């Protein structure tokens, strides 16, 4: 079986939750694999991150380079191409970094690529058996990945639960000397923090959250009325912000805010993983959607199959009345 590597995301010396998830996924490919974590960076926090990774991995490769102080995928891709042996399997989290890194890395390694993997059903020789979702989560698919020449997989955060991760106690090896040429035609400049809005949706216990099902800017008022009647705050999914119907600070999801309400009302929201990724703390989720097959019903506690344009005003009336 091919060697398996996991690229570890970390911040301020703390490894991301996905580090342990990639270790779990690796074991699903090959239960006996001695998986190597690759931790890149520069400066004082790198050692702490390596120690964090060592908890879940048999080996840790540390690469300490000033060019890697910020994880610029163009630079990391070159690095991995230089240090990972041919025909290896590389696992990366399917986050905004993994999406930036993965596809190009597979080409440079001449390896297969599968992204946003949600399940792994083992391997049959050099064929990996994986599960993905298509059509906004409305169809699941079994796929095979020919890993004869290696493979790069990005794994959906949260899909591989870290509970049964084998203990690591891995040794850290400094591989900085092998990094090779890291010159890139893309230069990282800076991170601009998201603007804060008038409301802080993260502070509200009850969120009335609307998605594309609200259909028109004119209908936003319906949700505002319901929120007012319930003593709640209006939040939304991404398309509502893209359309500029509500400000960015109201967006729930991986590229928006992470909220921890007691009650989350998802109205006309399909339930994409990027949206659900912003809902933490197991709130009581109520989903109202006209499509009984909408993925949101898989995660909601209570579901109502209705047109929200009729449901919302009716509910407002009941609550106010």
Partner 1 sequence: MEILVCVKRVPDTAENEITIKGDGTDIQRDDLVYSVNEWDNYATEEAIQIRDNVGGTVTVVTVGDSESEEILRRQMAMGADNGILLADGAFDGSDARGIASILAAAVKKGKYDLILTGAQADDGAGAVGGMLAAMLDLPYASLVNKVEVAGNKLKVGREIEGGNQEMNEIDLPCVLSIQTGINEPRYVGIRGIRKVASVEIPTHNAGALGVSGVGKAGAQVKRVDYFTPPAGKGAEILEGSMEEKIDKLIELLKAKGGLK
Long-range pairs of 107-110 with CB within 8 A, sequence gap ≥ 24: 108/77, 108/81, 109/80, 109/81, 109/84, 109/149, 109/150, 109/152, 110/86, 110/149, 110/150
Query: Site for ligand FAD (CB under 6 A): which residue of 8, 234, 308, 315?
Result: 308
Does residue 307 touch ligand FAD according to CB under 6 A?
yes
Nearer residue to ligand FAD within complex by CB, 36 or 316: 316
- Which span sits near ligand FAD by CB under 6 A: 35-43, 65-73, 163-171, 251-259? 251-259
Query: Site for partner 1 (CB under 8 A): which residue of 20, 251, 259, 267?
Result: 251
- Which span sits near partner 1 by CB under 8 A: 17-25, 45-53, 171-179, 282-290? 282-290
Give 82: exposed, middle or buried? Use CB within 10 Å, 0-12, 13-18, 19+. Answer: middle
First to last CA, the chain: 66
Q: Rounded distance, CA 321 to CA 310, Å? A: 17
Does residue 7 touch partner 1 according to CB under 8 A?
no
Interface mask toward ligand FAD for 114-153; x: CB under 6 A? ----------------------x-----------------
- Which span sits near ligand FAD by CB under 6 A: 81-89, 141-149, 195-203, 236-244? 236-244
3-class DSSP state of 234:
strand
Look-up of token digits 């500029």: 244
Q: 33, 144 in Cβ contact below 8 A?
A: no
Could you tell me how many residues of this chain bind ligand FAD (CB under 6 A)?
29
Q: Rounded distance, CA 89 to CA 27, Å? A: 12
Does residue 276 touch ligand FAD according to CB under 6 A?
no
Give residues in contact with ligand FAD (CB under 6 A). Answer: 96, 136, 211-213, 215, 237-239, 251-256, 268-270, 272, 274-275, 278, 289-291, 294, 307-309
């Amino acid at each position: 079986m091919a060697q398996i590597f996991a690229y570890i995301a970390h911040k301020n010396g703390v490894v991301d939750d996905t580090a342990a998830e990639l270790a779990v996924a690796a074991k699903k490919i090959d239960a006996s694999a001695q998986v190597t974590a690759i931790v890149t960076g520069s400066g004082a926090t790198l050692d702490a991150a390596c120690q964090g990774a060592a908890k879940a991995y048999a080996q840790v490769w540390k690469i300490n380079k000033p060019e890697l102080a910020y994880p610029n995928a163009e630079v990391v891709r070159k690095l991995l191409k230089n240090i990972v042996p041919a025909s290896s399997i590389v696992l990366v989290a399917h986050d905004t970094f993994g999406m930036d890194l993965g596809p190009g890395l597979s080409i440079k390694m001449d390896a297969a690529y599968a992204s946003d993997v949600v399940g792994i059903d083992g391997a049959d020789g050099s064929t990996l058996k994986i599960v993905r979702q298509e059509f906004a989560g409305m169809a699941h698919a079994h796929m095979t990945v020919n890993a004869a020449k290696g493979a790069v997989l990005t794994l959906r955060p949260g899909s591989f639960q870290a509970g049964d991760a084998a203990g690591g106690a891995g040794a850290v090896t400094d591989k900085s000397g092998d990094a090779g040429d890291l010159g890139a035609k893309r230069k990282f400049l800076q991170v601009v923090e998201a603007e804060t809005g008038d409301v802080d949706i993260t502070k509200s216990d009850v969120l009335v959250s609307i998605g594309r099902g609200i259909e028109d800017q004119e209908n936003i008022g319906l949700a505002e009325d319901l929120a007012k009647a319930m003593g709640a705050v209006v939040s939304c999914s991404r398309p509502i912000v893209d359309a500029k119907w509500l400000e960015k600070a109201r967006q729930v999801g991986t590229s928006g805010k992470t909220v921890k309400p007691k009650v989350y009302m998802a109205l006309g929201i399909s339930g994409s993983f990027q949206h659900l990724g912003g809902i933490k703390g197991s709130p009581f989720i109520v989903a109202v959607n006209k499509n009984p097959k909408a993925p949101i019903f898989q995660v909601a506690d209570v579901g109502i199959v209705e047109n929200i344009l009729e449901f919302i005003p009716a509910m407002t009336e009941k609550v106010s009345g």
